[in-house]
Amino acid sequence: MSRILVTGAAGFLGSHLCDRSLAGGHEVIGVDNFFTGRKENIAHLLSNPKFEFIRHDVTIPLYGVEKVDEIYNLACPASPIHYQYDPVATTKTSVIGAINMLGLAKRIGAKILQASTSEVYGDPAVHPQTEEYWGNVNPIGPRACYDEGKRCAETLFFDYHRQHKLRIKVVRIFNTYGPRMDPQDGRVVSNFIMQALRGEDITIYGDGKQSRSFCYVDDLVEAMIRMMATGPEVTGPINIGNPNEFTMLELAQRIIMLTGSKSKIIHQPLPQDDPRQRQPDITKAKQVLGWQPTVELREGLQKTIQYFKELA
């Protein structure tokens, strides 16, 4: 069994990854500074003798960890509300955090995975997006702290691989949803569900024809674990997401139906640099990882809605 370190362990994705790794019999060290992660997400893990938690900010080097086989670097605010709250800190987390975790991996000989993002493609001029597409990012826009921070982190990973022969894995994560999302994170799924459950108007930005592809969290975690298990010849980047595309209007209508809400749909102006389309080409994930998502949107939304109901 492996000893695994997860940064961003108290976040939405990180906590599910910790669950899955512990269920696989591994020892897990969770690292988080609770900037956006929540203690509630890992409270159930604290009594597990195979789980250790370290409260730490990845922009500071992490010492005292001497034996780890695998590092999953997930630490970074991931929703516009959170990453735009302190954009300088967001960039530092992506860039300096990557340097510190890569340094740790180099020092102890660990394999390391970077949770990158579909945001590296910006507002894409190519559809769907393949890993070879270099993107269309505004480097000085309000979203750039996240987009460019993640792009720079990928650069660092590949330079460490070329220069230091570090064993790296890079995945580009597309819109993910599921239980443990922060109801106040401003993401479209959590926004729509909370508005529907409260009977409030559902806010769509723009005409609602912009599209996203939504991947349920269990599918996403499965893909990350498969990526980490690949041989040294596989570095990525590999797109991880659900290629089934839905417009914002379609998503809102589905959530209204599943919640039985009487909410009405209203429209607000589209935010700056908000992508019109986002859909992964997952050919590489299918070929290299033998992976494709299995949870349909309806099933995933039902589980997510139930989670938010229980929070209320």
Residues with catalytic function? 146
Q: How many CA atoms lie within 13 A of 213 on its CB side?
A: 22
Spatial CA neighbour of 285 closest among 131, 125, 78, 111: 131
Residues in contact with 253: Cβ distance below 8 Å, sequence separation at least 6, in sequence order: 265
Q: Are strands 211-213 and 245-247 parallel, antiparallel or unpaired?
A: antiparallel
Taking CA atoms, 132 is separated from 172, 213, 278, 284, in Å, by 12, 19, 15, 11
Distance CA(176)–CA(189), nearest Å, equals 9
Calculated CA dihedral for residues 36, 38, 41, 47, nearest 10 degrees: 130
**45-52 — which CB contacts under 8 Å span 24+ positions?**
45/15, 45/18, 45/19, 48/22, 50/22, 50/26, 51/18, 51/22, 51/27, 52/27, 52/28
Question: For residue 145, what are its two tokens?
Answer: 């702290």
